[in-house]
């Protein structure tokens, strides 16, 4: 590592935090929006050259991993490319969904319905049978338990039947597994209907299923439910797809210096969805974390704690890269990790400055012991910079999930995804109430132009501050206690299964 202090031109225009624990001005001044955007542009170019995406298992992802690994090597990090296998689902023909009777109607793929990842293949024509516990009109908050219990499914007739299920409080996997076990030949899961949960959305099944399974818009589900109340409804659903094992990899860069008994893991997922280039989700977190790592390598003096920068693969398939990383660690290696910082989506165009709710003051459960201290580091920073924040629940939607499932304290930042900005948020953060935080979330339009640079700059400053703080400060006693927990890491852990039930991975629920 070079001992040179880098203070680049065009520094971030953020006030020094008045109450934060550490003076992070050197790293914040070094990490510039120009450099972050350059990394994002490099990833965008990779997507353009590889069919429009950087999805794990593709050439676009492999090129992204090579880019990050080479940048880290040149900066002096010890780089590990950690391969792992996962099941890759690929549709080989356009899916079909048609209303056969009482009237004929063809629904539009991509607009009215979307095939779930890991759906079974085949063509089914049969009676549409709604499950119990449908909530129409929808409640204010997600509450439908439709399909969450085996008894939610009426006994199907002897001829093929298609289950009509509503999105809600349990995973897509649970709903589809219950439908298959009840004897249904296909499943339609319609969106729940609240603002932000109305369109057809990509659903991901953690394990492949044998029956065709698609998600639909709330409007389609509402229409089919109303028809079913009046009489028999027949529909036809067709999915043509294959599922095969493919290899992808995590990229991990570790500082050669720092206390090996106190490891700080800072992570961001490197993959995009197959539908687009993923410049905000998660080219933004990747670019910020990579630039922080590069500039830290130029600072004067070794870190107090060992730093490990993780760029995770297959997050969009259900947190698979970070889960693989955590699962392959020995109990001793796990005990050395004192905390995890996670940066997933930092430049949403209609953003809010979300901070993970480590102390559980706004949502339950709280993170493992030590998570409250991480939240406080971020909140102190934002307060000192006179920037508003909102809490974000530990709902398992990103790569901190496997860490907190093992009792490792965690924290991080998020600028918002498909949910809609509220009136109060628009008043505090600007932007448009009633519009998604990121209207291009998981779409082809998540390109280099899909960013709010002011938000990206502000959250990059907060991320740099937190990484600098934990690089150079002895962790809080709660974190050190966490690192000496018994094998199994049960104390303070949040079960990964419980997180999956609340949303684990962008698509799971």
Residue found under tokens 């949502």? 363
| Closest CA relative to residue 172, chosen from 114, 96, 122, 227 | 114
Q: What share of the chain is helix, strand, coil (3-state, %, to 5)?
A: 30, 20, 50
DSSP H stretches of helix in 430-495: 453-472, 477-482
> How many CB atoms lie under 10 A from the CB of residue 9?
6
Q: What is the dihedral of CA 295, 296, 297, 299, to 10 degrees?
A: 100
**Among 291, 315, 425, 457, the one annotated catalytic:** 315
Q: Which residues of 90-99 are buried (b: 16+ CB within 10 A; e: fewer)?
A: ebeeebbbeb
Number of H helices, E strands in the chain: 14, 16
CA atoms of 507 and 201, how far apart (whole Å): 8
CA atoms of 204 and 126, how far apart (whole Å): 24
Residue 283 in contact with residue 277, Cβ under 8 Å? yes
DSSP H stretches of helix in 50-162: 59-74
What's the burial of 405, exposed, middle or buried (CB within 10 Å: 0-12/13-18/19+)?
Answer: buried
CA atoms of 113 and 3, how far apart (whole Å): 55
Residue 175 in contact with residue 203, Cβ under 8 Å? no
| Closest CA relative to residue 174, chosen from 233, 114, 133 | 133
Q: Is 20 helix (H, G, I), strand (E, B) or coil?
A: coil
315 is catalytic: yes
Q: Is 129 helix (H, G, I), strand (E, B) or coil?
A: strand
For residue 265 the two structure tokens come to 């893991």
The residues, ordered by sequence, that sit 6+ positions from 497 with a Cβ below 8 Å of its Cβ are none
* Three-point CA angle 180, 93, 206, nearest 5°: 40
Cis link prior to 137 (omega < 30° from 0)? yes
Q: Is 251 helix (H, G, I), strand (E, B) or coil?
A: strand
* Catalytic residue numbers, as ranges: 315
């Amino acid at each position: 590592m070079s001992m040179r202090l880098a203070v680049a031109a065009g520094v971030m225009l953020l006030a020094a935090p008045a109450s934060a624990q550490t003076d992070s001005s050197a790293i914040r001044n070094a990490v510039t929006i120009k450099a972050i955007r350059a990394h994002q542009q490099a990833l965008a170019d990779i997507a353009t050259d590889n069919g429009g995406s950087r999805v794990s298992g593709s050439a676009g992802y492999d090129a992204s991993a090579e880019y990050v690994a080479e940048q880290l090597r040149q900066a002096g990090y010890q780089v590990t490319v950690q391969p792992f296998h996962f099941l890759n689902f690929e549709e080989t023909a356009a899916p079909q969904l048609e209303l056969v009777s009482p009237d004929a109607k063809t629904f539009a793929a991509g607009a009215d319905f979307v095939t779930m990842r890991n759906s079974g293949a085949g063509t089914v024509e049969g009676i549409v049978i709604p499950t119990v516990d449908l909530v129409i009109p929808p409640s204010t908050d997600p509450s439908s338990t439709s399909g969450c219990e085996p008894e939610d499914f009426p006994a199907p007739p002897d001829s093929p039947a298609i289950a009509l299920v509503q999105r809600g409080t349990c995973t897509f996997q649970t709903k589809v597994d219950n439908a298959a076990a009840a004897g249904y030949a296909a499943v339609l899961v319609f969106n729940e209907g609240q603002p932000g949960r109305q369109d057809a959305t990509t659903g991901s099944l953690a394990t492949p299923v044998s029956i065709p399974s698609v998600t639909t818009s709330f409007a389609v589900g509402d229409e089919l439910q109303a028809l079913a109340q009046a009489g028999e409804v027949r529909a036809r659903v067709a999915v043509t797809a294959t599922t095969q094992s493919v290899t992808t990899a995590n990229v991990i860069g570790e500082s050669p210096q720092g206390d090996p008994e106190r490891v700080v893991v800072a992570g961001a997922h490197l993959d995009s969805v197959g539908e687009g280039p993923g410049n905000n989700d998660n080219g933004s977190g990747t670019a910020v974390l990579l630039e922080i790592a590069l500039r830290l390598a130029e600072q004067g003096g070794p870190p107090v704690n060992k730093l490990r920068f993780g760029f995770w693969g297959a997050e969009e398939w259900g947190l698979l890269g970070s889960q693989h990383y955590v699962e392959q660690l020995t109990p001793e290696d796990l005990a050395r990790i004192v905390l995890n910082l996670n940066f997933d989506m930092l430049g949403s165009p209609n953003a809010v400055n979300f901070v993970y709710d480590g102390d559980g003051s706004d949502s339950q459960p709280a993170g493992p012991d030590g998570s409250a201290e991480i939240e406080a580091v971020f909140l102190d920073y934002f307060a000192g910079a006179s920037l508003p924040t909102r809490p974000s629940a530990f709902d398992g939607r990103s790569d901190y999930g496997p860490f907190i499932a093992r009792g490792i304290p965690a924290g991080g930042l998020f600028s918002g995804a498909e949910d809609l900005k509220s009136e109060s948020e628009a008043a505090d953060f600007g932007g448009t109430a009633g519009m998604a935080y990121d209207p291009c979330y998981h779409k082809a339009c998540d390109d280099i132009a899909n960013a709010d640079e002011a938000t990206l700059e502000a959250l990059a400053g907060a991320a740099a501050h937190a990484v600098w703080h934990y690089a150079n400060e002895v962790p809080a006693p709660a974190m050190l206690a966490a690192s000496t927990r018994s094998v199994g890491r049960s104390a303070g852990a949040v079960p990964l299964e419980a997180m999956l039930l609340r949303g684990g991975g962008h698509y799971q629920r």
